[in-house]
Amino acid sequence: MAREEYCIYLRKSRADLDAEAHGEGETLARHERILLELAKRDKLNVTEIYREIVSGDTIAARPVMQQLLQEVQAGRWAGVLVVEVERLARGETIDQGIVAQTFQYSETKIVTPLKTYDPTNEYDEEYFEFGLFMSRREYKTIKRRLMRGREAASKEGKWVSGSCPYGYKRVRIENGKGWTLEVIPEEAEIVKLIFQLYTKGEPLPDGSKRDIGPHPICRRLEHMNVPAPSGGRDWRTRTIEQILQNPVYIGKVRWNRRKTKRKVEDGKVTPERYVSKPENWILADGLHEAIIDTDTFQLAADKLAKRGPAPVHLNGELKNPFSGVAVCEKCGRVLALWNNSKGYSMLKCRNRFCDNVGCSYEIFEARVLEALSGWLAGYELKWEEAPAKNDELVGLAKRAYNQASKELENRERQLARAHELLELDIYDVDTFLDRSRVLAEQIAEAKENKVAAASALSSAERAAESRKNLIPKVKKLLEVYETLPSAAAKNEMLKSILEKITYRRDKRTGPKDDFEITLYPKLPSSEE
């Protein structure tokens, strides 16, 4: 059946935002009127209007566009109405190629007030691709102009970033263009306290002072119930370090420090943030008020430089075999492996505000292996009756699927018969339409039943396969666990058989093995 339905796609551009600022009216509403008039003139049956509120550079940043492309690819629409082809894609070349191929392969028309592009027409295809190419050039020109404007504004001391550093809020420049920062008094006092503690130390009862680093400063702020920049009460060491290193607090504006580059992974373009070379940074006197004096800031910088970089594991080697598997029963956070200077290893909840007590890693590991061995013994007994049960469940699912398929075929034959009766004048048009509506509902229901039956059959088959394979996997792990060469190898085997392990310990005193663990093997859903 030929497609007769059309849809409208509306999206703002940066030029539209400028036009709205100059009082030219709401863009989407104006474009909607233009395209509805076009549909009326050309007698196009428009049944859906898509509105893209965000103005993203890529398809990945435009969820409505993603939905539209999926429907175009599925062949739902005869055509899409847009005010200009540039509204579909003007960013990355790869995105323009995706849009062009999607419309071409689905033979979906692109209707604009000036021209209708038919992807099956060779000349229209070339014209459409040329339009995208020109929009790409225009997009790059606009982007370069925006970047030059931001660089110029930052050199003038204006605040050009969207987010604000802790202690400030963004405000419009009075009698001028652009933004600057305004001090938030309560947060500014916390910033001063952070610099004071780090550069001058913490006062002790005897009058002396103790040197204090970013981590103890976090604990001090949490003890004082100071809200963190993220909104919670969990202050991070990295947050303190960023505050100590940010020249915004001495009245400076820094721009172009962090940049974005795109890379392709598994066929998808993903952005990656990195710190550029210092010689590429822009550092200018800001229009805003400073919170910290230059001497204090330099003292903090010198002290940070002496600390050196944080230690890291060589080659990013995994040290915890239970990484991503063992979780806290109380708060749900993963358990972390902690090693002290004496070689003692502990598993602890990563949440500082959780009262779940940690335990010895060696004891935890032994308990997990013991629990797996006990579970395996019981499951093997249960498995003796499983093959017959598996065959029965799969057989029932297959019969349900076959019945649903026959029901759908029967309803489709009835619809074909209704068409024949209309052609033979046994049905008049009204009777045919009534019958078609009833059959359409029954066919839709039959299709849903068939899909549900297919899903049930697939689940039954996967469950049978899971039951058959799980026992050998657990046996293999128990046999070779102690001989595995690395924590990463142990972690991989544990993840292949366990969804998770929950851990709970309420008392710090008492036997070291006085804790509870619960194993969640990767069983079929019916057995969980």
Residues 86 and 11 in one domain: yes
Percent of the chain with pLDDT over 70: 76
Q: What are 394-433's pLDDT values in tens digits?
A: 677 788 788 888 888 888 788 778 767 766 778 775 676 6
Mean pLDDT of the chain: 79
Q: Which of residues 75 and 400 earns the better pLDDT score?
A: 75
Residue 390 predicted with pLDDT over 60 = no
Alpha helices in 481-522 (DSSP H): 487-497
Residue 311 predicted with pLDDT over 60 = no
Contact 233, 215 (CB under 8 A): no
Whether 391 maps to a domain, the answer reads yes
Total domains in the chain come to 4
Beta strand spans in 358-480 (E): 359-360
Residue 6 predicted with pLDDT over 80 = yes
Residue 383 predicted with pLDDT over 60 = no
Range of lowest pLDDT (69-83, 287-301, 304-318, 406-420): 304-318
Whether 162 maps to a domain, the answer reads no
Residues 9 and 139 in one domain: yes
User: Which residues in 133-172 are b (16+ Cβ under 10 Å) and which e?
Assistant: eebbeebeeeeeeeeeebeebbebbbbbbeebbbbbeeee
Distance of CA 296 to the CA centre of its chain: 40
pLDDT-based confidence at residue 312 (cuts at 50, 70, 90):
very low
Residue 514 predicted with pLDDT over 80 = yes
Q: Which of residues 327 and 458 earns the better pLDDT score?
A: 327
pLDDT of residue 400: 79
Residue 516 predicted with pLDDT over 70 = yes
Residues 368 and 499 in one domain: yes
Residues 401 and 444 in one domain: yes
User: Which residues in 200-227 are b (16+ Cβ under 10 Å) and which e?
Assistant: eeeeeeeeeeeebebebbbebbbeeebe
Domain final residue, candidates 97, 122, 153: 153
Identify the CATH number of the domain in which residue 289 sits.
3.90.1750.20
Residue 457 predicted with pLDDT over 50 = yes
Q: Which of residues 65 and 457 earns the better pLDDT score?
A: 65
pLDDT of residue 310: 42
Average pLDDT for residues 48-54, to the nearest whole number?
82
pLDDT of residue 243: 93
Average pLDDT for residues 186-193, to the nearest whole number?
93
pLDDT-based confidence at residue 309 (cuts at 50, 70, 90):
very low
d(CA 301, CA 294): 10
pLDDT of residue 261: 65
Residues 266 and 379 in one domain: no
Whether 102 maps to a domain, the answer reads yes
Whether 324 maps to a domain, the answer reads yes
pLDDT of residue 429: 59
Domain final residue, candidates 308, 338, 363: 308
Residues 135 and 268 in one domain: no
Q: Which range scores top for mean pLDDT: 11-25, 79-93, 298-312?
A: 79-93
Residues 518 and 372 in one domain: yes
Residues 113 and 186 in one domain: no
Whether 475 maps to a domain, the answer reads no
pLDDT of residue 233: 76
d(CA 268, CA 239): 31
Identify the CATH number of the domain in which residue 147 sits.
3.40.50.1390
**Which residue in the block uniquely carries the two structure tokens 């001497």?**
295
Whether 473 maps to a domain, the answer reads no
pLDDT of residue 425: 78
Long-range contacts of 371-378 (CB under 8 A, 24+ apart): 371/517, 371/519, 372/474, 372/477, 372/478, 372/497, 372/519, 373/478, 375/474, 375/519, 375/521, 376/471, 376/474, 376/475, 376/478
d(CA 492, CA 482): 14
pLDDT of residue 305: 76
pLDDT-based confidence at residue 295 (cuts at 50, 70, 90):
very high
Residues 180 and 247 in one domain: yes
pLDDT of residue 1: 44
Residues 515 and 500 in one domain: yes
Average pLDDT for residues 176-194, to the nearest whole number?
91
Nearest Cα neighbor of 59 from 259, 261, 268 is 268
Whether 29 maps to a domain, the answer reads yes
Domain final residue, candidates 273, 308, 343: 308
Whether 237 maps to a domain, the answer reads yes
d(CA 43, CA 4): 11
Residues 296 and 198 in one domain: yes
- Give the range of the structural domain holding residue 392, as residue numbers without chain letter: 386-468
Task: Report pTM.
Answer: 0.44
Residues 351 and 417 in one domain: no
pLDDT-based confidence at residue 527 (cuts at 50, 70, 90):
very low
Q: What are 108-163's pLDDT values in tens digits?
A: 988 988 888 887 777 776 666 666 666 666 656 666 777 777 778 888 888 888 78
